[in-house]
Structure 1
Amino acid sequence: MVHTVQTQENELRSLQLQKLNRLLHFVLNHNEFYKEKLAGLKLPLQSLEEMKKLPFTMKKELVDDQNNHPPYGKNHSYPLEEYVRYHQTSGTSGKPLKILDTKKSFEWWETCWLEVYRSSGVTKKDRVFFAFSFGPFIGFWAAFEGAKRLGALSISSGSQTSIERLRSMIENRATVLVCTPSYALHLAEVAEENDIDIKNGPVQKIITAGEPGASVPSTRKQIESLWGAVLYDQVGMTEMGAYGYSCSEQKGIHVNESEFIVEVINPNTLEPVEVGEKGELVLTNLGRESYPVIRYRTGDIVIRSDQQCECGNSYQFFPGGILGRADDMVIIRGINIYPSSIESIIREFKEVKEFRIVYYTENEMDQIKVEIESDSEQIVPILATKLRERVGLRIQVEKVPDNELPRFTMKARRVVDNRKKR
C-alpha cells in the first residue's frame, strides 16, 4: 500500500514537472509579461524544487500590467482574435482585472469543474440549478459549462427573483444547487416566509463558491439542516482557475494537483512553512497558457498538511479549507471587499466630510453600507452608483448628521463589523 501511494506521488510530481516545463517554454516564447519576468531562466527545470528560481507573481503586478498596457495587459499570450471569453475580477482591491480565455483554456476551466462535480458525486443524471445573474464573474460560468459537459441538465435562473428561483427548482426537480453560501441561507429564509418546503424538496446536493461557508462546520450544518441536502465547497480565483474542492468527508479542501502546483509559504519570510503550520497559499496553473499565472501569492491562509483524506483522494489536502486572508478582506455576497478600495472611491468626492463602512447581516445575508457626512443632497445616489460600478455590488449609502461619525487623531477605525456570527 505504501509502495502504491509513493508510486502515485512520484507519477504526479513527474506529470507536474512535465507540464510546468512545457508551460515555461511556451511563455518564454509567446508571453511578453513572463518573457520579461523570467528573463535568463534556463530550461528545462530538472525538479520541482527548482521552482524556487522563479519569482513570485503578485496581483498588483497583473493590475499594473493592465494599467500600463490597456486594456488587457501583456499577460495574454495569444493575439486578441484567438480569445472567445471575457471575465473580470470584482476590482475591490483596485481596478478590476480583465481576463480573457481562448476556447482551449475555457475548456480547461470546464475540466477543472468536472473534478469538482466528481468529488461531489454529481453525475449526468442530475439536474443542476445555477442561482446567479450571469455577470462577468467566471466561477459560475465555468460551473455551468462544466455541468453541460458532464451531461447533466443545466438550469439557469438569470434575473429571476428568489421566489421564482425556488419555484423553478421545485418545478424542474433540480437535484443540485450551485450558489454562494450566503445566498443558500437567503433562499432558505425566503422559502420559510412563503411556506415553501425545501427540506423535503428535490435538492440533494449544494455546491457553494465565491465565499467561505461550506468548509466552515457551523455554516455547513446550518445550510444542510435548512435544505435537507449535503453541502460541498469549491474554491477558485478568476486569475488562477477552479483549483480546489471538498469531498464526501467534508473536512477541508483538496487541490487539483494535476492542474495546479501548490506551495505554502510564510508571508513574511517567503520560505516554505513546516507541516502543521499556517501559511499563505501559492499556486501555479498548468493548463491555461492563454493567461498563465506562475507562483501566484493568493493571500489565502491554509494549514500545510501531509495527511491523506479518508475519502481516498491523494491530492494535497488542507484541513478546514481556506482559513482566512493575509489582509483585512471580507466577502459580501461572493464579492471580495477591501476597506481601502472603498475608501479610495469615497475619497474621490470632496463633498464627503467623513465616512464609515458598516458590515451587517440582514435576512441571513451579509451586507455592507457606507455612512457619510456631507452637505450635498445629491451625493448619495452618485456615490452609490460609483460604488456599484467599481465594486460590482450594490452598497447602500446613508447620509448621517454632521459630527455623528467619530474623528481620529491616531490611526482611524472606519470599519464596523456587525455581521451575525455563524
Structure 2
Amino acid sequence: MSQLETASRSDIVAHQLSRLQQGFSRIFPQNRFYQSKLEHTATALNSLEDFSQLPFTNKRELLADQAAHPPFGSNLTYLPEEYICQHQTSGTTGKPLKILDTRESWDWWAECWASIYRAAGVSSKDVIFIAFNFGPFIGFWAAHEGSKHLGALTVPGGGMDSLQRLHIIQETRATVLVCTPSYALRLAEVAQEHGIDLPSSTIRVTLHAGEPGASIPATRERIERGWGARTYDHAGMSEMGAYGFTCSQQQGLHVNESEFIAEIIDPHTNQAVQEGELGELVLTNLGRWGYPAIRYRTGDIVRNGGYTCGCGRSYLHLPGGVLGRADDMLIVKGTNVYPSAIADVLHRFPEVSEYRIIVTKNGALDEIALQVECPSELTGRIQEELHIAFNLRVPIESVELGILPRFELKARRVEDRRRKA
C-alpha cells in the first residue's frame, strides 16, 4: 500500500491539485478541444473548488468532435506521431469512440492496472490468465500491460473456446483469472459440464471488470464458490482509465485518487451528493494528458461511501461498486430498478444458470418479466425474493437449461421490447 493511500484528505487534495496544474499547463497550448471548450472559463486553478466550476465533459461531445474532425477528433494534445496505441469504446450504447494513447499515457495505464493487481494481493510470483479475445476494446490490453508492469507471467487467452481456456489454466498452473464476472460464471458452468474440479485448481484470485457483478454480493459469492478463489472487482472505462479497485475488505470499490479526481453528483441538479447517497460518478484522469478527460460524466451510478475503510485506505469508497448506469435504470410502477439489483437476487439461488430481463410498456408504464434457466418449481421462491427487494410482482418464465445466450464480454441480459411495440 502506498503512502498516499493512507494519507490525510488534505495531502491527497494537495497531490491532486499539483498533478492537475501540471497537466493543464500541457493541455492548453495545443489541445484544440479543451481550448475551445474552456475559452470563456477561468482556468487558473488555485484549489479544487476552482476546478469544480469548470464545465463537465460527456461522451456525446467527444463523439461529435470526432465526427467533425475525423478520424480522431481535436482532443489531442500532441502531434499524431507521438501516439502509439489506438483503442475504442465497446459501442454498447452507441457509436464507438476512438481513443489514442502516447507512450507516457500507456505506461500510466499499466501502473493504474498494477495498483489493481496489488490491491488484490497479486504479485510478480503469480501467473495471470487473461480470458479475452483481444480486439480494439482497451480493457484486456491494459490488463496485459499491467501484469507486465507488475512483473508477473501473463498467459493470453485469445482465440480459444471455454474448454480450451480451462485446459490452459490447468496446464500453466495459472493463479489469477481476469475476465468479466459473467464469463467467470460461464467457465465454471463449462467446467462442471466436463467434470473439471475448479475449486481444487491453482486459481486463487479472480479479478473482474466490464460490467457490474464482482461487487454484487450474491454474484461474488457464486464466483468464489465456483472457483474456490477470492473475487475482486475493478472499474474503468476506455475514455477515462482504470480508476477503481477492490481492497481486502471486498465491500465495493476504492477510487485510485492518486491518479483520478472523483466527484459524485445528483444527475438532475449537478450538485454534489452527501455521504451515503447515490449519484453519478464524475472523473478526471491525472496522467493521460495526450487525450484528457476533464470532469467527465461517466454515467455510472455509485454510492458515496466516504473516506474510511477497514483496510486503512483513505481513498473514496464506493460501497457495492458501480451499481448500474443512469441509462440502464428501469422505472417499474414507480420503483427504480437496476439490472444489477435483479442479478443480486437471482444469484442467491444456486439452481439459476442464466436469465434474461424483458422490458415492455403498458400504457405509460414500464413493466418487466424474467426468463430464467431454473427448475419450474423455483419460480415462486424467486418471485417472493424479488417482491421483498422491490415490492414488485415480476412474472417469471422457467426455460430449459442452455437456451439463453452466454457472454464472454459485457453481458446483455436486458431485452428492451418497448421500441418494438
C-alpha deviation, 1:92, in angstroms: 2.7
- The 5-angstrom pairing of residues 391-410 of structure 1 reads none
Q: Which amino acid aligns with 1:245?
A: F
Instruction: Provide the rounded CA distance (Å) in 1 between the counterparts of 2:219 and 2:92.
Output: 25
> Is the 8 Å Cα contact of residues 178 and 206 (structure 2) preserved in structure 1?
yes
C-alpha deviation, 1:11, in angstroms: 1.4
Q: CA RMSD in A?
A: 2.9
In structure 2, the partner of 1:158 is: 158
* Secondary structure of residue in 1 paired with 2:17: helix
Q: Confirm whether residue 141 of structure 1 aligns to residue 155 of structure 2.
A: no
C-alpha deviation, 1:328, in angstroms: 2.5
Q: Encode CA deviations 1:139-162: one digit per residue, 9 max, x unaligned.
A: 111111110111100001110111
In structure 2, the partner of 1:344 is: none
> Is the 8 Å Cα contact of residues 307 and 315 (structure 2) preserved in structure 1?
no
Q: 1:413 to 1:95 in 2, by over 3 A?
A: closer
In structure 2, the partner of 1:88 is: 88
Q: 1:16 to 1:5 in 2, by over 3 A?
A: closer
Q: Encode CA deviations 1:247-295: one digit per residue, 9 max, x unaligned.
A: 1111010000010001011100111112211111000011000110000
Q: 1:166 to 1:5 in 2, by over 3 A?
A: closer
Q: Encode CA deviations 1:307-357: one digit per residue, 9 max, x unaligned.
A: 4110111111011111111112779xxxxxxx9xxxxxxxxxxxxxxxxx9
TM-score of the superposition, structure 1-length normalised?
0.78
Instruction: Provide the rounded CA distance (Å) in 1 between the counterparts of 2:46 and 2:404.
Output: 48
TM-score of the superposition, structure 2-length normalised?
0.78
C-alpha deviation, 1:53, in angstroms: 2.1
Q: Confirm whether residue 212 of structure 1 aligns to residue 229 of structure 2.
A: no
In structure 1, the partner of 2:98 is: 98
Q: 1:47 to 1:136 in 2, by over 3 A?
A: same
In structure 1, the partner of 2:263 is: 263
In structure 2, the partner of 1:36 is: 36
Instruction: Provide the rounded CA distance (Å) in 2 between the counterparts of 1:160 and 1:108.
Output: 29
> Is the 8 Å Cα contact of residues 359 and 367 (structure 1) preserved in structure 2?
no
C-alpha deviation, 1:97, in angstroms: 0.2
- The 5-angstrom pairing of residues 214-233 of structure 1 reads 214-233=214-233
Q: Which amino acid aligns with 1:143?
A: A
Q: 1:119 to 1:190 in 2, by over 3 A?
A: same
- Which sections of structure 1, spanning at least 5 residues, go unmatched? 332-338, 340-356, 370-391, 396-405, 407-411, 416-422
Q: Which amino acid aligns with 1:18?
A: S
> Is the 8 Å Cα contact of residues 283 and 297 (structure 1) preserved in structure 2?
yes
Q: 1:321 to 1:393 in 2, by over 3 A?
A: closer
* Secondary structure of residue in 1 paired with 2:28: helix
Q: 1:168 to 1:361 in 2, by over 3 A?
A: farther
C-alpha deviation, 1:184, in angstroms: 0.4
> Is the 8 Å Cα contact of residues 185 and 365 (structure 1) preserved in structure 2?
no
In structure 2, the partner of 1:62 is: 62
* Secondary structure of residue in 1 paired with 2:200: coil
Q: 1:229 to 1:368 in 2, by over 3 A?
A: closer
> Is the 8 Å Cα contact of residues 30 and 78 (structure 1) preserved in structure 2?
yes
Q: 1:394 to 1:129 in 2, by over 3 A?
A: closer
Q: Encode CA deviations 1:35-66: one digit per residue, 9 max, x unaligned.
A: 00011444431110111221000110011011
* Secondary structure of residue in 1 paired with 2:49: helix
Q: Which amino acid aligns with 1:168?
A: I
In structure 1, the partner of 2:182 is: 182
Q: 1:5 to 1:229 in 2, by over 3 A?
A: closer
Q: 1:181 to 1:360 in 2, by over 3 A?
A: farther
Q: Which amino acid aligns with 1:198?
A: L
Instruction: Provide the rounded CA distance (Å) in 2 between the counterparts of 1:76 and 1:9.
Output: 32
* Secondary structure of residue in 2 paired with 1:29: coil
Instruction: Provide the rounded CA distance (Å) in 2 between the counterparts of 1:364 and 1:182.
Output: 15
In structure 1, the partner of 2:392 is: none
C-alpha deviation, 1:23, in angstroms: 1.6
Instruction: Provide the rounded CA distance (Å) in 2 between the counterparts of 1:30 and 1:365.
Output: 54
- The 5-angstrom pairing of residues 122-137 of structure 1 reads 122-137=122-137
Deviates more, 1:292-301 or 1:318-327: 318-327
> Is the 8 Å Cα contact of residues 189 and 364 (structure 1) preserved in structure 2?
no
Q: Encode CA deviations 1:153-193: one digit per residue, 9 max, x unaligned.
A: 00011101111110110111000000000110000111111
- The 5-angstrom pairing of residues 185-196 of structure 1 reads 185-196=185-196
Number of residues paired by the alignment? 354
Q: Encode CA deviations 1:89-146: one digit per residue, 9 max, x unaligned.
A: 1223221101111111010000100110110000000000010001111111111111
In structure 2, the partner of 1:247 is: 247
Q: Which amino acid aligns with 1:132?
A: F
Q: Confirm whether residue 14 of structure 1 aligns to residue 24 of structure 2.
A: no
Q: Confirm whether residue 25 of structure 1 aligns to residue 30 of structure 2.
A: no
> Is the 8 Å Cα contact of residues 87 and 136 (structure 1) preserved in structure 2?
yes
